[in-house]
Each structure stands twice: as C-alpha cells, then as structure tokens.
Structure 1
Amino acid sequence: MTNRLARAALLLSGAALIAPAAIAQMQAPAPVVAAPPVPVTFGKWGVDLGARDLSVKPGDDFEAYASGKWLASNDIPSDKPGNGVGTELNDRNQEQLRAIVMSAPANSQIGALYRSYMNEPLLEQLDAKPLMADLARVDAIASKDEMLKFMAESQWSFGGSLFGVQIIPDLANPTMNSLAVGSGGLGLPDRDYYLSDKYKPQLAAYRAYVERTLALTGTPDAAAKADEILAFETELAKASWARTDLRDINKINNPMTPASLATYAPGVDWNRYLTLSGVAASPKVLVSDNTAIKAKSALFAATPLDTLKTWQRYKVTAQASPYLSKRFVDSQFEFAKALTGVAVQRPRWRRGIGQVDSRLGELVGKTYVERYFPAEAKTKMESLVANLKLAAAERIRGNSWMEQPTKEAALRKLSKMDVMVGYPDKFRDYSALSMSADDLYGNVKRSSQFEWNYRLADLGQPVDRKKWAMSPATVNAYNGGLENKIVFPAGILQPPYFDPRADAAVNYGAAGAIIGHEIMHGFDDQGRKIDENGAVRDWWTPKDAENFKALTASLGKQYSSYEAAPGVFINGDFTMGENIGDMSGLEVAHLAYMKSLNGKKAPVIDGLTGDQRFFLAFAQAWRGKARPEAIKTQVASDPHSPQRFRVIGPLRNLDAWYAAFKVGPDSKYYIAPKDRVRIW
C-alpha cells in the first residue's frame, strides 16, 4: 500500500531494528542450481580480530577501530546500495530459502510463484499484455466517482490511491482491532524530494522515469503528461506531513466516525470509499495525518479527471513493472540508481526468493526453521531475553531522575511485555491462495488480495497478539508497540548476531543489544506514550515528562550534528526512537552481561577483557558501509540512523565504554561525564 499510513503503522507496530533497503532492486537472470550456504562466523569466539584497525584510537572513531580494516578492504558490490553484516546474512538466508524453494514441487504454491518469476522467456513474450486490462479500466473511467472506486480497489492491486486503510489495534482500546486511514500518493520516498533543492538530481531522475513509463505503454504526449504528473504530486507533497510528525503518536491519534470524516474532508465521498475498501461497517476511524487527508481530499476534487487518469496509468505501470518484461524492469532500475547508487541489477533469482518470502513467508518459513533454526538456539535466546528484561527492570528501578509512580508504571509495562522468538506459535494457512507457474502478474494480484482479506478479517475482532508482522527468515526484529510485544525472527538469530556457542560477552554485545533495543522501544519517545496494555495513555508524572523531554532534546542535538554523508546530516528528532533504543538497549545489555558473571571477573581472551569483547561485538554487529546516494535516501525516509552512528552515537554516552578503552578528553568523540545523556 503506497500511502503515508504505512509509516504511521510502522510506528504503531514498533520500529524495526534494521533499516530496510532504500528501494527494491531489479534483478538479472542466474543459474538455477542452488549452492550450499556459506556460514557467517567471526573468529574463534565471535569477534573478527583481523577486522580491527589498531592504528585508530577507540575514542576517535570506534567504528574504524573495530572494523576499519574490513571497511578499507571490502568494496560495496555493484548490485547493492550497501554491504555489511545484515546484508551478508540476508544473502545467506536467501541461499537457504532457495534450497527450500528449488526442492518444492512445480505445482505447489512456493514452486509456482518462484517459477513464474523466473520464467523470463514467457515474460518477454507477454511483454505488456498482462497490464492491458488494468490500463483499459483506467481509460474507461468516466467520472470522479469511478476514479474513487478504482483508488479504493488499488489498495490490493496495481494502481495509485491518495488514501489507504489498515487494520490496527485501537489506540484507546488495544484489545480490539480498528480501522485506520492515512494519506499517500507520492512516487518518491518523501515530500522533501519534491520541495527541497538538495534532491534535484533525484527529482530529475524521477521525472524521466515517469516519462519513460508512460511511453512504454504508448501513452500519447508522454513528456507533457510526465510534467503534469510531477506537478500533481508536488501539490500532494505540499499537503503531506513531515516524517517527524508522522511518527508522533499524539499527532496521528485522531479518532473520528465515518460521518465526521466525511464532514471533515468533504472532497471525497468517504462512505463510498470505505464501502469499496470493505470497511464500511467500522463505527470508528483512526485518522492519522488528518490535515493532509483533508487537503488531499480537496485536491482530488479540484484536479481534472484527465490528470488523475494519466497519474493512474503511470501508477499501474510503475507498480506492475517488476513483474513484466525486461524493458519495464530496466526502466525502473534506471530510476533506482538515483536513489541507491547501485550500478547493476541484482541476480534475478534473489529477487524471486524475496517474492516468495514476502508473499508466502510463513509457508516457506515453516521449513526454514525446521532446517536451520535448532531448538537449542530458541531455548538460549529465550533465556537471554529473560536476562535482558531483568536488567531493564533494574535500570528502571535505579533511574535517578524518575519518580516512583512513573517507575512503577514502567515496570508494569515491562513485566507484561510478550517475547516471541524464532517463529510464530501457529503458522498461517495459505490454502485459499492460488498460484500459477505461468501467471506472475496474476500471482502478485491474487497474493495482494489474499493479504488484504487476511488483515480485513481482523476488523472489529479481538487483537491476536500471536500474529507476526515478519517472516521467520527475516534478518530483523521489532517491537509491537500497541501489542506490547517483542519479536525476534529465526533469520537474525544466528552468527554473528547470536551463537549459542560463542563467548557470553559477544552474545550480550551483539544479540543482547538487539534484545535491549527492542525492549527499550517500549520506553522511547513514542513507546513511553503507550501503557502496559498497549493503550495510548499518559502514565508519566509531569516532572518526569519534563525531565525526559530535556534528555531527549540533548540526545537529538548530538545526532543532528552527525554528517552521515557529504552535506547530509542526521535528523535527530526523526531518528529519536531508534537512537533511544540503540543507546538504552546497549546499557541494558551491558548490565545483563555484568549480572551473568555472577560477581566473578570476566576472563581475558586474546588480550581482551570482557567489556572490550562486549563493545567490539556490538560494533562489529553493525559493521557495514553504504553508498552516499543510499545514505541520502535513508536519512530522508528512514527513522534509523546510518550504521556508523549506530555504533558511535550510543557509545559516546556509556561510562563503561570509556573505562573499557581508556577514552579520555583528548579523543574526538569524548563527552564529559556531566554531559553524557542517560535516559534509562
């Protein structure tokens, strides 16, 4: 669903640990023989000692100290916007998934979907034919009423909509699912791409892509029509909210009835739109970016129908392009270069595996965990999480600036936080989804409809907190904010993040920091507004709220000073939640490691103390590099700070890091003790 509700929903379901790729990459053909996955390991006990650059002082650049030799000797592959631990592990997981997919019967759902994606000769033969019926529907639209119908139905098909609906836990009563509405319509990652001069190259590449896309389907006057579309989307951008506002729960918490929404934003027949979306029976609508919805409703009413139809032709074609012939794929990839800096397309088989994982994730994931996720890893990870929760409770109780009533409320929330490790208790049933080995276009459409029906069935029903928002093979983790749960898929629970046989300091520094990050999302600048039951409610004393605001302002100032790429500075407010998760999560992980020693002194291994190994493992877990174009896109559209500052940013505020590496005032990133930010 291409709308701004998606960003709001990410906030409400919990921010993910690892930033997603800036844009999906188109891919080229590859042999179909699946090679065995190559294990990813760091040294004998979990740290890659050869990656360090010991000529760098730890306090001057800890990323370079921990991983400098690796950074200097490893180029970013030409088909990737960046490379590092996460991308390497994702590649390995794809190889594991590929072994599963290639052994699936050709007529199975998994086999049919993958084969339909890989059948390039058929896709070339079909060319634009699969697209023609949808474009004919657009051409036949004769009124705004019919356009509204097409927009409503485009949420689970190919096409564009200025608005999107989702089913999420009710912000006031999180035990029940409710309807949420948000705005969208933009083709670039953020409103600033249309409005700020610093994105002129990307805007020019986008405008060229729009023209090419129209021309590929024989649209007359493609150049003039592209200008028309860009002008329309620029007006949408002016009405759109800034990313910082979209992640503010207070600002996006605007409950209405369908009738009051119709009065508030009269440019759209909301009764018809919601009815066609299948959600008309909902008595309540959670309106996220309300003023944007109102403005875009008015823009819909004021925009000529022909302009909207041209925009829809472009949207349908752009969204369908990855599933068409090479000329469509190549045109889209040419635009992707401007956002990511990549030079060549990724192997086609990798994107095919990505399609299987995204559309049949729990179906293929069931076999994935049976083959690659040992019971020992699940048991030890659950034990590690329990230890991290105990450490988090201790830090909350010992918080020097917080009053007792707020501490007690925080501890209640922590105690009720559910932990889910590896895979869901119950896997999804995909039996109603039809897949055909010779119909990629239809497979994608049917899958999208199936997914929407799956979510729609929850409307007005009790929230099932056992459902997962990620597939088991995903290299990521998340905090389900309105469900007060933390989820760790099997895909990330392997070396170098987590290894049951690794040194304890390494597991706490890598996996422990991940766990701590997700736990502390429950207490970041937005998580703190959600209570132990998942309801949006203020459970803070006024004094504590003011103290928290002052501390986060100091942290935001630090991050806003970081230049992630030439001329590209991090937005400390936009990334606040993730930065709090990184810093506070690392504090929690370190305390848990200390407690795991049971009062004993950690052994010295290869000349490194326990604390030194802990912090090196943390830094190397974020080992990676990205192209300037990809960093620019990330800073504009992703609430995670770039990897380098997910290492440096938290460590500068941790006393134990200073002691472990004897970092003093003569170091570049030194912060005096009185100026270090300590939130939790």
Structure 2
Amino acid sequence: MTKYILGAAVSALALAATAAHADQPATAAHADQPATPATASSTTAKPTYGSYGFDESGMDMSVKPGDDFYDYANGTWAKNTPIPADKSNYGAFNILDDLSRERTKGILESAQTDPNSKIGNAYAAYMDKAAVEAKGMAPIKPWLAEISAVKDRAAYAKVAAKAARAGIRGPFRFYVGQDDKDPETYILSMMQGGLGLPDRDYYLDQSEKMAAIRTAYVAHLEKMLTLAGQSDAKARAAALMAFETEIAKVHWTQIDSRDADKTYNKMTLAQLEQAAPGFDFASYYAANNLEPASLLVAQPSAITGEAALIAKAPMQVLKDGLLLSSLHAYADYLPDTVADADFAFYGTTLSGTPEREERWKRGVTFLKESLGEEVGKIYVAKYFPPETKAAMDDLVKNILAAMGRRIDALPWMSDTAKARAHKKLAAFTPKIGYPDKWRDYTGLEIKRDDLLGNAMRSNAFEFDYNIGKLGKPIYRWEWGMTPMEINAYANFGMVEIVFPAAILQPPFFDPKADPAVNYGGIGAVIGHELSHHFDDQGAKYDETGKLNQWWTDQDVANFKALTDKLVKQYDAYEPFPGAHVKGAFTLGENIGDLGGLAVALDAYHASLGGKKAPVIDGMTGDQRFFLGWAQVWRRNYREANLRQRLVTDPHAPSQYRTDIVRNFDAWYDAFKPAPNGKIYLSPENRVKIW
C-alpha cells in the first residue's frame, strides 16, 4: 500500500543533538496583533526565498495568526497569484513541477537530434503534431474495430483483458503487488472499476452541482461517440450512463476502500467465480497469460455486483464502455478534435482548467510515464548534486531519531507496542533522489513516426513488467516515482519512505535557508511520510511490512479515541456551503501532517544542541519553523478542482493542512493567539497522536 503527499513539488542539516530545546518566546510584533517584520537578515548566504528562506512578501499582516494561520502566512501571495490557464490549481508544488519540466524539455530536445536515442525518438514522435493530424483516426481504428466485433460475453471478457494491458479502463482493475499478509510474495490484486466519472458520488449525489456534471458527462459521451463515427450516439450515451449509475450503486465508498483490513480478501480464482457469477474471470485473466492460484479482492461485494450487472447488460453498452474508455485513454495521441473534446470535459468541466497545456509539456509528461527512468538518469546527473543527497540523508536520520524519542514519551501506548514500534523504525529504508538500480527499457519498441503505437506499446510494456513480478523475489530496489516528480511517498509493505530528486529544492529544502525553515518544510514532509507508517492504516503493518496487529487492544482503543478527535476537527471544515472535508477519508493524511510536523519540530529543537535559536528579522526559531510549514502549502484552487478533491482526494485542502498548527502548544507559545481566535483550540482540545 502506498500513500502520496499532495500535489507536485516538495521536498539539511547536522545530526540532531540529544537534548530538546524550547525557543525564545514570541516577540510582540509576531503575537496575535502582528506588525510588518523587519527586513534585515542575520544570514550571510542569500536563500531563494526572502532573507532566511521564507517569502515574507507573501504574508498578509492584516490577518491574525489565531484567526487563519494560512492567510497570515500566505494571504498576499494568494491574492496576487493567478492560476495559469493550463492548470486547475497552482502553488509551490506546481512551481517546482514547471521547473522540472523545463529541465526535462532541455534533455529531450537534445536527445531528439540523435536518431538512435529512444527518448529522443519518443519525444520527436510526440512533437510531430502535423503527422498526428494527417493520420487522423486511422491509428486507433483497428482497435475500435476489434471492440465493435465482439459478439458475446466470452469475447467481451477477452477484449476487456486486452484493454487492461493497453492501459484502458475496463470493468475491473488489477495489478501485481505485495501480499499484505505475506510481504515477501507477489500476488494479483483486483479492485472495482468501470466508472467514467471520478467516483461513485458523482453518480449518486443529488446536489445541483453533481447533477450538472452528470448532464455534461452524457453530452460528452455523445460527442465522443459521434467523433468516433458511431451512429445513434445520443441513445447510446444515455444507456451507458444508466449502466455506470448501477455500477456506482454497488461500489464501495472511498472510506471503506482505504481500510487495509476490509480490503484484504484472499481467494482462489474458483472462489472468485463462485462469488461473482456472470463474468468469465478465468478467460479474462488467461487472455493475459495469468492463471492465479490465489488473488486479493479489495471490494468483494462490488465485484459481485458488477459481474451481475455485466451478465445482464446489453452487449452494445459493454462495448461502448470500452470504446469510450479507449478514446479517453488515448485522446492525447489523436487529432485535436478528439483531444480537445476529451479535455473539455475532464479538464474544464471536472477541474475548471480553461486551456490544455502546450504540446511540449504534454510531451514531457508522456516521456515521464513511458521512459521515466531513462530520462531520470540524465536528469539526476545534471540537476541533483551529491551534497544534496548527503544533506537529506542526515536530515532523515534526525527525523527518525526524533520519532524514536516521541514514541518513548507517548502516554497512551503500552511498553509492548513501543518496543515493536522501535523495531519498525529500525527496519526503515529511506530512498532519496533516485533508484540504485535503473529500469531497462530494451524491450520497448519506439518509432519516430508512430505516436499512438508508442503509447500503446509503452502501456503494454509496463503491464508486462508488473505482471512479470509474479513468482519472483520482491523488487526492493524499485521506485514508484521518477526522479523528476515533485512528490514523496510511503510504502507500507516495503517499510520505506521515498523522496525523488526534484522535490528537494526550495521552498521545501534550501541549503542556504535557515534550518528552522528547512525543518518546517522538507523536515515535516519527511516526518509526514514516516508518520504514514503509523497512521490509522500504516500502523496495521509491522516491522516486516506485514498486515499484522502488533498493538494491544487497549493501544488500539486509545489510538482511536485520539483519531476520532482529528476526524471531528476536519469534518467541521467547509470550503463551500454544504461541502465539507471528510475527516474519515482524509484521516491518514491528517495524521501524517500532525505527526510529521511534531517529529520535525522535535528534530529541529534537537539540532540546536542545547543552544537558543537566533532571532532573525524579528522572528524566533519556532516562528520560522511554522512559517516554513505554511509556505510549502501555498496553493490556489479553481472551484471545480477543489470540489472534485473533496470527493476524490485523501488529502485535505492546503489551507486546512497549514492550520494543523492549531494543535501544537509550541505554535501558541510562538504566536500568542488570542483565545477568541477562529482557529484557537483550548489545550484539552488540541490533538496529539504521535
């Protein structure tokens, strides 16, 4: 199981000293009646942002920290920063992603001049818009004809399997990963699927906003069928929508689908077919040379329900589902008439983005997805200096040590569980920058004049790579992201935390910035990913990566009492009237933020070696730490994008991630918020977990 940090950009220092240290009290200028900070800096090397690593020009000093810490730290930036026309949201992650893509563009343009370069030929094929337009729909017609030729459900199962290998959404999703209860073994995992909209709520929520999206979706299906040269498009679009609505009714919710215990359902193929009659699973898997002795079924009742619906659905509806999924999956490699129509719904209607990205940006994304580590080798050599990796190694050690100290001090955890928690900490594998072993793309055929073929072959290559793990030792060297990603993740089965090269830049990490800002930025990101292994799902996995209850029953009860308080806190957030954050859905990420920031603060204090943190530009060390945290969450959203995230994103919106500080006594000491402040919490209501 893997958890990802939000968005697109992320992200040190000396080894932590053993003694924690409390910073100087807040100055009057930075209590709840803030004044404009002084501009003089005590640092000698100028960081990328501001005088000490934080962009003070983005603050809104008219806002009290105790009313809205996000706006206090970021309000002026938010007011003065438009969202680019090709983006659904914009913030620190996107700024770094833009830089990463510009750098990658340079790599690909250079490679393009070499006729023997695989990445160069792939990029050249993508950039040859004239060739794509000239070919029209011809490249995809054989595949669409294969779908149209399906006559019965046995043939449908085989074509649906072929679609899965081609990266096309079908009735079910499956992949090979670690067996949660036997992490030294790979197993086939299967999940619910079959929806063209992002989540079941889009079909079942009766609000006016969702109803409008459903109307637009049916119109979109009709248009795509028409572009594909299909007849009776209006009636067929309505029939497919009706079928998907029935599928949505049997789908599990996001909250149930993130429960590691509920989604662990091991069965044989024969048991699956008995539990879900109406679909030929044996033929489905055999079409991709799979004969699984056993598999994990994440949502059994949904699979049963979907199979029953497939058994009685008209064949035309089933075929139209695959046809439209194919056009969506490959729209970006087809003429603009198709690509623009696909973007008009998925980009603009669903996310509010006015314009498609420039072609070169989309080309960079395609290369990252198809030949990511081949590009990554060059990227790392050019843009990731060894000293950054070394500094990050030290910072990770500091955070791990701080987590160990926090575990020892927990009042709610038994000594037995604490001993196992330390074993888990000792088992961690941090991965920083790039893989130790790079992927081999020798078997992937790339043609300079065949964009759609390159995309289809790439998807098949990735599928075969994944399926090829069955029966082999665990690929412990493997990465789930490329070095160019602005992100980070935690992998429970591997007991690892992973930080790609491109995230290790300002504002997350800046070697010229004050340590407090770095600890509040990348330090808290490290702590976030570490804390995922101890969140409401990650804590179910032991030091070997096995899904295994290693706490006492009383530990579990104590933990739930604390997490219930955090759920309630986030349930109260309401970005739009009637549209709330789902505290249970976002719980894992909120625990990650709460625990990550706590661990990073402890590590920062320990790094001071018993000395007082200096005051810089009137800011104490703890104030700079919390501002560093707030700065990385600067983000403006388009309304449609934020509404979609409330339904589909397990992360809370950035404003509420910033305001997690309201649970920290050190934040109250630093900024002296008034008790009547909007985000003020009395001491007994502040949530402390890790």
Q: After TM superposition, is the score higher than 0.5?
A: yes
Provide Cα deviations, 1:185-206, integer angstroms capped at 9, x if missing partner: 1001100001112311221221
2:213 is matched with: 202
Provide Cα deviations, 1:625-647, integer angstroms capped at 9, x if missing partner: 10111001111111011111110
1:546 aligns with 2:557: yes
- C-alpha separation in 2, matches of 1:311 and 1:385: 46
Amino acid at match of 1:400: P
1:67 aligns with 2:74: yes
1:668 aligns with 2:678: yes
Pairing of 1:161-240 with structure 2 (within 5 A): 161-198=170-207, 199-240=210-251
Partner residue of 2:293 out of 277, 280, 283: 283
1:27 is matched with: none
- C-alpha separation in 1, matches of 2:668 and 2:214: 44
Contact preservation (8 Å) 2:8, 2:485 = no
- C-alpha separation in 2, matches of 1:454 and 1:550: 43
1:292 is matched with: 302
Pairing of 1:134-533 with structure 2 (within 5 A): 134-157=143-166, 159-198=168-207, 199-280=210-291, 282-335=292-345, 336-533=347-544
Query: Structure 1 residues 428, 158: CA separation in 2 closer, same or farther (over 3 Å shift)?
Result: closer
**Structure 1 residue ranges without an equivalent (≥5):** 1-11, 22-38
Provide Cα deviations, 1:30-62, integer angstroms capped at 9, x if missing partner: xxxxxxxxx993123210011111111111111
Amino acid at match of 1:57: K
SS in 2 for 1:15: strand
2:105 is matched with: 98
1:17 is matched with: 5
Identify which of structures 1 and 2 has the higher relative contact order when contacts are C-alpha pairs closer than 8 Å and 6+ apart.
2
Aligned length: 649
Pairing of 1:561-600 with structure 2 (within 5 A): 561-600=572-611
Provide Cα deviations, 1:165-189, integer angstroms capped at 9, x if missing partner: 2111111110111111112010011
SS in 1 for 2:625: helix
SS in 1 for 2:51: coil
Query: What RMSD, in angstroms, separates the aligned Cα atoms of the two structures?
Result: 1.4
- C-alpha separation in 1, matches of 2:8 and 2:205: 24
Larger mean CA deviation between 443-452 and 264-273 belongs to 264-273
Contact preservation (8 Å) 1:19, 1:638 = no
Residue 521 of structure 1: how far off its partner (Å): 0.2
SS in 2 for 1:249: coil
Provide Cα deviations, 1:259-278, integer angstroms capped at 9, x if missing partner: 21111112122222221233
Contact preservation (8 Å) 1:19, 1:640 = no
Partner residue of 2:50 out of 37, 43, 46: 43
- C-alpha separation in 2, matches of 1:330 and 1:274: 34
Contact preservation (8 Å) 2:370, 2:458 = yes
- C-alpha separation in 2, matches of 1:20 and 1:182: 26
Amino acid at match of 1:355: F
1:55 aligns with 2:62: yes
Amino acid at match of 1:186: L
Contact preservation (8 Å) 2:59, 2:76 = yes
Residue 153 of structure 1: how far off its partner (Å): 1.1
SS in 2 for 1:197: coil
Contact preservation (8 Å) 2:47, 2:510 = no
Contact preservation (8 Å) 1:40, 1:89 = no
1:113 aligns with 2:122: yes
- C-alpha separation in 2, matches of 1:364 and 1:183: 33
- C-alpha separation in 1, matches of 2:576 and 2:421: 37
Provide Cα deviations, 1:63-105, integer angstroms capped at 9, x if missing partner: 1111111111111112211111000110010001011011002
Amino acid at match of 1:90: D
Provide Cα deviations, 1:538-569, integer angstroms capped at 9, x if missing partner: 11111110111111111001101111234321
Contact preservation (8 Å) 1:158, 1:315 = no
SS in 1 for 2:564: helix
Query: Structure 1 residues 64, 158: CA separation in 2 closer, same or farther (over 3 Å shift)?
Result: closer
Larger mean CA deviation between 44-53 and 87-96 belongs to 44-53
- C-alpha separation in 1, matches of 2:128 and 2:474: 40
Contact preservation (8 Å) 2:167, 2:459 = no
2:90 is matched with: 83
- C-alpha separation in 2, matches of 1:94 and 1:40: 22
Residue 582 of structure 1: how far off its partner (Å): 0.5
- C-alpha separation in 2, matches of 1:319 and 1:549: 41
Contact preservation (8 Å) 1:513, 1:582 = yes
1:618 aligns with 2:629: yes
Residue 431 of structure 1: how far off its partner (Å): 1.3
Provide Cα deviations, 1:586-613, integer angstroms capped at 9, x if missing partner: 0000000000001000011111111011
SS in 2 for 1:169: strand
Amino acid at match of 2:264: N
- C-alpha separation in 2, matches of 1:492 and 1:549: 33
- C-alpha separation in 1, matches of 2:300 and 2:643: 28
Contact preservation (8 Å) 1:420, 1:487 = yes
Query: Structure 1 residues 348, 566: CA separation in 2 closer, same or farther (over 3 Å shift)?
Result: farther
Tell me which stretches of 4 or more aligned residues in structure 1 moved more than 4 Å: none
Provide Cα deviations, 1:222-246, integer angstroms capped at 9, x if missing partner: 0111001101111111111100111
Structure-1-length-normalised TM-score: 0.94
Residue 310 of structure 1: how far off its partner (Å): 2.2
SS in 2 for 1:486: strand
- C-alpha separation in 1, matches of 2:82 and 2:7: 20
Contact preservation (8 Å) 1:624, 1:643 = yes
Residue 306 of structure 1: how far off its partner (Å): 2.0
SS in 1 for 2:3: coil
- C-alpha separation in 2, matches of 1:601 and 1:267: 69
Residue 158 of structure 1: how far off its partner (Å): 5.7
SS in 2 for 1:525: coil
Contact preservation (8 Å) 2:380, 2:501 = yes
Amino acid at match of 1:94: R
Amino acid at match of 1:371: K
Query: Structure 1 residues 112, 566: CA separation in 2 closer, same or farther (over 3 Å shift)?
Result: farther
Partner residue of 2:136 out of 127, 132, 135: 127
Amino acid at match of 2:531: M
- C-alpha separation in 1, matches of 2:105 and 2:115: 14
**Structure 2 residue ranges without an equivalent (≥5):** 10-45
- C-alpha separation in 1, matches of 2:138 and 2:578: 45
Provide Cα deviations, 1:363-394, integer angstroms capped at 9, x if missing partner: 00011011000000000001000000000011
1:36 is matched with: none
- C-alpha separation in 2, matches of 1:641 and 1:107: 46
1:30 is matched with: none
Contact preservation (8 Å) 1:377, 1:499 = no
- C-alpha separation in 1, matches of 2:463 and 2:305: 26
- C-alpha separation in 1, matches of 2:323 and 2:677: 57
Contact preservation (8 Å) 1:497, 1:621 = yes
